[in-house]
Amino acid sequence: MNLPAATIQGVGRTRISLPALAAASLVLVTTALVFVFFVVPNDANQGFSQRIFYFHVSIAITAYACFAGGAWKALRHLWKRDPRADLESYVFVHQGLIFGTLVLLTGSIWAKISWGHWWLWSEDQLVLFLVLYLFYCAYFMLRFSVDPGPQRANLSAVYVLFGLVLIPVSFAAIRLAKQLIHPVVFTLHGPNFGGWILVTYCIAQVAMLVLAYTLYQLELSGKRLDVRLRRLREALA
Amino acid sequence: MNYLADVGALARKDLLLELRARDTLPAMLLFVVSALVVFHFVLPAGSSDLAATGLLWVALLFTALLGLSRAFAAEREQGVIDGLVLAPSDRSAIWLAKSLATLAFLAAAEVVALPLYALFFHHVGGATVLAVALADLGICAVGTFLGAIAVATRARDLILPVLFLPLAIPIVVGAVGASVVASPGRYLGFLALYDLLFAVVCWASFEYVVSE
């Protein structure tokens, strides 16, 4: 029986239990919904539709956080040879892609309502996000066409690290020739809003981050269980 | 200087192989010529020169992709890669040599493609030639690296364009910008920056692609 490897992959590393995380995200997301729909006043220029901002922006930042987490874990895999890092990196990127889909959807809806088009190429941050989205979709193609093992872990990690370079480079590329119409929410002087709007935004942001982390832990524990099950089957066969 | 000798020997091996077998370059040449002919019919009569400039870059990018998908063909089919990894040299030399060889093929294809483009469509300015040179560096550096990743997968030739195109978007932005605007300095600088950044990343991480 070759079980030590299974214990390395053990589930017992989660510091906060999954049900607690799930309850926290439920409470936070509900609070965020209540604030977005009942507490915050209508926007002076855009009216009711501006409320999608609280979700669009917080989901976008969550997606970026997931991609950053994936890159961090990839770095740990290559650098420290952490045996858990490969799976963690994959799950982070997976969550990032799920939230990324939501960013493109909410962004598109907001663009249709405010600017009258479902898609605007002159709109920096949407285009940047689309490039990244394609990049991470390709990551999935890559990962699913290599057999599990150390080589797959290396190739995936290296490709994710490319993403870290691609983000600033495509941002610069897209900025090179364009006019800005995306509302810039954060400037060098801090967020350009205050009061209830800021409070609501912060709640929505925390809610999305906790939700993403919960989903991350959930998927991770499922995937680890899968690995252990396969190891056990192999040991018994 | 041992490192440069390794790179030189590996690049020479690729060029010699191509010289004897003539696998890649004729295909690239024929492809880029046919693509330019197809583009003539793609453009409706009276289209602007700007549209043709954009299509030039489509042709060049896909020609490069054709060459890149063949870059590691010998390594894969004959098991050369195992020998190269075992050789007592730095692994990044494999990437650098392969990039140089692919760059030579791509440049050879472009020596034919650019005059032909000038003949078929409109004249090619100095900024465009400079942009082609800078874009080639980035395309070959990143493309060769991804080619090495792609041969390790089951999908192989299928996966290279999928991996490569998102990373090539900044090259296209810089290259097309440099060929259409009056003062292309910013775009050329951006291309140079792209080349430098990605060359460093590829050089530093290639070891993980070939080793297990």
**Set of chain B residues whose Cβ sits within 8 Å of the Cβ of A131:** 166, 169
pLDDT in tens, A18-28: 889 999 999 99
Smallest Cβ–Cβ distance between A165 and the set B155, B165, B201 belongs to B201
User: Is A17-227 assigned to CATH 1.20.120?
Assistant: yes
Domain count, chain B: 1
- Residue B90 Cα, gap to closest chain A Cα (Å): 18
Band of residue B185 on the pLDDT scale cut at 50, 70, 90? confident
- B153 at A interface, C-beta within 8 A: yes
pLDDT in tens, A142-187: 999 998 888 899 999 999 999 989 988 888 887 775 544 455 555 5
- Residue B189 Cα, gap to closest chain A Cα (Å): 11
**Sequence-separated (6 or more) residues with CB below 8 Å from residue B26:** none
B166 vs A174: CB contact, 8 Å cut-off?
no
B152 vs A151: CB contact, 8 Å cut-off?
yes
pLDDT at A229: 93
Instruction: Report the alpha-carbon distance of residue A3 to residue A56 in Å, rounded.
Output: 45
Report phi then psi at A47, rounded to 5: 70, -150
Residue A157 tokens, joined: 């990690």
pLDDT at A180: 42
pLDDT in tens, A60-116: 999 999 999 999 999 999 888 888 899 999 999 999 999 999 999 998 888 888 888
Instruction: Report the alpha-carbon distance of residue A185 to residue A192 in Å, rounded.
Output: 6
pLDDT at A2: 42
Q: What ipTM was reported for this prediction? A: 0.87
pTM of the model: 0.85
**Set of chain B residues whose Cβ sits within 8 Å of the Cβ of A147:** 154
pLDDT in tens, B167-180: 999 999 899 888 88
Instruction: Report the alpha-carbon distance of residue B177 to residue B191 in Å, rounded.
Output: 10
pLDDT at B82: 83
- Smallest CA–CA distance from B155 into chain A, residue: A145
pLDDT at B83: 84
